[in-house]
Amino acid sequence: MVLIEQADVWLFRLLNLHLVHPAADDLMVFLTQSRLSGHILLLVALFVLIRGGKSGILVIVLALLALWLSDFVASGVLKPLVQRIRPCFALDHVRLLVNQPRSYSFASSHAANSAAVATMLWIFFHRGVLVEKLFSFIMILYALLIALSRVYVGVHYPGDLLAGVVIGVCSALLIYLVYSWFLKNFLQPRLMRQASPR
C-alpha cells in the first residue's frame, strides 16, 4: 500500500506540476467546473434526442440513473468510508487552479459521473452510423479529459480518478443489465401477448 501511495503522489506531481502549460489551464478549469461546461450536456442531450427519437428519452433516463448510482457510490459511500484527504490539503506546493473542495478525495465523483454517462452513451451509439460512432468516441474522450482535469487543477490523486472511472463504467453496465433483464422478462413478453391474435 505504501508503494501504491507513493506512486500515486509521484504521478499527481507529474501531472499537476510538470506536464502543464498556461494554454491548458483555462481548458482544464473549464472542463472541471460544471457551471462553465454544463451547456455541453445540453448539446449532448439534444444530439441523443435527434438521433434516437423516442428511444432517445430512454437513453437519457438510463444515463441519468447511471449517473445517480455512480455519484451515490463515489460520494455517498466511498468518500465518507475512506476519508482520504485531498492533495491540495495533504501535500505541499500543489498547483491549485480552483476553489478548494471540503469533501474527501477518494473516489472522484467527477470521474465516476462522466464515465457513467459516457459508457451509457457508448452502449447505445457505438454500433451506429459514422456520426454516432464518432459521437460515442468523443464522449469517452470528454469523460477522460474531465477526469484528468481533476488532477491537473490539484484536487484529486490519479488513484481517485481510476476508482471513479471504474465506478462509473460499472454503474452504467449494471443499470443497462437491469434494464435489459426487465425488457426481456417483462416488457417484451407482455407486448408479444398483446400483439398475438386471440
195: pLDDT strictly greater than 80: no
pTM (2 decimals)?
A: 0.89
Does residue 16 lie in a domain region?
A: yes
38: pLDDT strictly greater than 90: no
Q: Identify the pLDDT of residue 188.
A: 67
CATH number where 172 lies: 1.10.606.20
| Number of domains the chain contains | 1
Confidence class for position 193, pLDDT limits 50, 70, 90: low
What does the alpha-carbon distance between residue 79 and residue 60 come to, in Å, rounded to a whole number? Answer: 27
Q: Which residue has the higher pLDDT, 189 or 169?
A: 169
Range of the domain at 126: 2-187
Does residue 197 lie in a domain region?
A: no
Lowest mean per-residue pLDDT among 119-128, 139-148, 177-186: 177-186
Q: Identify the pLDDT of residue 2.
A: 81
Does residue 138 lie in a domain region?
A: yes
Does residue 27 lie in a domain region?
A: yes
Does residue 62 lie in a domain region?
A: yes
Does residue 42 lie in a domain region?
A: yes
Does residue 60 lie in a domain region?
A: yes
Q: Identify the pLDDT of residue 128.
A: 86
Q: Identify the pLDDT of residue 41.
A: 87
40: pLDDT strictly greater than 60: yes
Does residue 140 lie in a domain region?
A: yes
154: pLDDT strictly greater than 60: yes
3-state secondary structure the chain: CHHHHHHHHHHHHHHHHHCCCHHHHHHHHHHHCHHHHHHHHHHHHHHHHHHHCHHHHHHHHHHHHHHHHHHHHHHHHHHHHHCCCCHHHHCCCCCCCCCCCCCCCCCCHHHHHHHHHHHHHHHHHCCCCHHHHHHHHHHHHHHHHHHHHHHHCCCCCHHHHHHHHHHHHHHHHHHHHHHHHHHHHHHHHHHHHHHCCC
